Amino acid sequence: MSMYRKTLLTGIAAMAIVSGYAENPLSKSSSALAADSTNKDVPKVLSFQAKTLEGETADLSKHSGKVVMFVNVASKCGMTPQYAALQKLHETYNNKGLVIIGVPCNQFGGQEAGTSKEIRDFCTSNYKVSFDILEKVNVKDAGNEKACELFAYLSEQDAKPAGKGPVGWNFEKFVVDRKGNVIGRFKSSAKPDSKEMIAVIEKALAE
């Protein structure tokens, strides 16, 4: 190849990099920029790190644009039969945009002391649970125990009817609308299929 041709090709390559036709290894690719743009649209409540009951990374951000109900659950509580109503809600409204996420916690009466496998087996065999369940975590500050970031955030939101403050017992429910706002907080005694709960869910799904 002649010296003239080599010089010409080198010049063309340099121009391509400057003009953006060739990828600059020091800049983000278009796909990375798109990912950054998408992440900015994820509401804070769905941006926290979490793991599934099987210990895998749980991508909460995939539920952006949906109505999400977070419930701190336990296997040996007087409220445990609420699993049945939660599963019914899942079956009725999941295809309309409702996501239910159970979050096991052992801070209330030691009523969720089992392993992840025992929790899964219990939920499956007794209530045929098919909605998402995350790994066991703390949902409130207590002595040296600190609430996980997700529940620390949820507890700070002044959502009716329960208002803000530490989680008081198993099976509190937090309802998040499609924009990521916590629009409802219900105490343990509130049944998942109560008229009040259904009204909040259906209103959020319709928006």
Catalytic residue among 77, 105, 123, 148: 77
Distances from the Cα of 101 to the Cα of 4, 9, 22, 42, 145, angstroms? 67, 58, 45, 17, 22
Determine the Cα–Cα distance for residues 81 and 138; give it in Å rounded to an integer.
21
Residue partners of 58: CB distance under 8 A and separation at least 6 = 50, 51, 52, 132, 134
Which pLDDT score, from 0 to 100, does residue 17 have? 40
Confidence of residue 41 (pLDDT cuts 50, 70, 90): confident
Q: Are residues 143 and 200 in the same domain?
A: yes
What is the pLDDT of the chain when averaged over all its residues?
A: 87
Determine the Cα–Cα distance for residues 148 and 160; give it in Å rounded to an integer.
22
Helix, strand or coil, per DSSP, at residue 145: strand
Q: Are residues 131 and 32 in the same domain?
A: no
pLDDT in tens, 129-159: 999 999 999 999 999 999 999 999 999 999 9
Question: Which amino acid would we find at residue 127?
Answer: Y
Q: Are residues 14 and 90 in the same domain?
A: no
CATH number at residue 64: 3.40.30.10
Determine the Cα–Cα distance for residues 104 and 137; give it in Å rounded to an integer.
6
Q: Are residues 105 and 7 in the same domain?
A: no
Please answer whether residues 182 and 154 qualify as being in contact, where contact means their C-beta atoms are separated by less than 8 angstroms: yes
Q: Are residues 111 and 26 in the same domain?
A: no
Q: Are residues 23 and 75 in the same domain?
A: no
Q: Are residues 67 and 48 in the same domain?
A: yes
Q: Are residues 151 and 163 in the same domain?
A: yes
The structural domain count of the chain equals 2
Q: Are residues 101 and 158 in the same domain?
A: yes
pTM of the entire structure?
A: 0.81
Instruction: Look up 77 and say whether it is catalytic.
Output: yes
Q: Are residues 91 and 8 in the same domain?
A: no
Q: Are residues 60 and 12 in the same domain?
A: no
Q: Are residues 33 and 69 in the same domain?
A: no
Q: In residues, how long is the chain?
A: 207
> 188: domain range?
43-206
